[in-house]
Homo-oligomer: A and B are copies of this chain.
Amino acid sequence: MQQNLYDKFTVTHSPLTDTRPAAVSVADQLTSYVLGKLQPGMRLPSEADLAERYGVSRVTMREAVKMLAGRGLLDVARGRRAIVRQPDGSVFGDFLTSLIKSDSKHLFDLIQVRRSLEIQSATMAARHASRAGIMAAEAALARMRAAAQDARRGGEDAAAQMRFHQADADFHEALALASGNRVLSYLFEGMALPFRESFHVSLRGQQMRGLSLEDSVAAHAHILACISNGDVKGAGEAMSKLLDDAERNIRMAYSPASLS
């Protein structure tokens, strides 16, 4: 969270001059404890215990716990003790989402960022994807195909469209996992969030360009085929084409005159 005005790097060293709010310094200590001694899935002591342990009131302790939850380190729910969370991309996703909400221009910047990361992901996956990794991507591809058929048959089936988008995101996340780079997969997981909110826009652009979900499935299948064959260059180029297409879809929906 980088508690705003209280820069931990310049202050924390000398506890005697630590003028930060107690909640902040307790949060820092708790962070070290969680990251250092605990494993994902483990339960923390209760707020009351922690409060006593750190010598603060429960209100203050609660704030510290909430800060860690805000950084995605803990799962907190009513009635049960907090649980150490497995790292994931949701914090990054929320960051991107509010960025785009504050200025929609950021969406196009993000598309460009995503493009180069996806190309790297596909390239690396083609280089050293495992059998299991490819099977996971194939499963996601199958879900995309099924959702595409449902959406076609059901007309404006919003649920099927949502399933399609989810399977699409799963596919790209599977490739990132197959690339062996976990940070990359966290970033994709996070990017899926803001794209989910604009995916109906993308869909509209796709239809305006006379393309169907099945076309998208075929493009994804081609990428996976390249990866499966170890065709590094082909995988990168195919992914590049796919992302160019996705960008055209969104731009088309925003300003139909600007692009093919």
Question: In the complex, what residues of B have CB within 8 A of residue A92's CB?
Answer: 92, 95
Question: In the complex, what residues of B have CB within 8 A of residue A67's CB?
Answer: 66, 70
The reply to whether A2 and B94 form a contact with Cβ atoms under 8 Å apart is yes
Residue of B nearest to A7 (CB): B90
A186 interface residue, CB < 8 Å from B?
Answer: yes
The reply to whether A113 and B62 form a contact with Cβ atoms under 8 Å apart is no
Question: In the complex, what residues of B have CB within 8 A of residue A73's CB?
Answer: 98
The reply to whether B101 and A95 form a contact with Cβ atoms under 8 Å apart is no
Interface centre among A62, A67, A72, A124 (most CB of B within 10 A): A72
Counting contact residues on chain A (CB < 8 A from B), the size range is 35 or more
* Binary contact track A41-81/B, C-beta < 8 Å → 1, others 0: 00000000000000000010011001101111111111000
The reply to whether B1 and A70 form a contact with Cβ atoms under 8 Å apart is yes
A119 interface residue, CB < 8 Å from B?
Answer: yes
- Contact surface of A with B, Cβ cutoff 8 Å: 1-5, 9, 21, 31, 35-36, 59, 62-63, 66-67, 69-78, 85, 87, 90-96, 98-99, 101-102, 105-106, 109-110, 112-113, 115-117, 119-120, 124, 181-184, 186-187, 193, 196
A-B contact pairs, 10 of them (CB 8 A): A2-B193, A3-B69, A4-B75, A66-B70, A67-B70, A71-B94, A72-B98, A109-B182, A112-B120, A113-B117
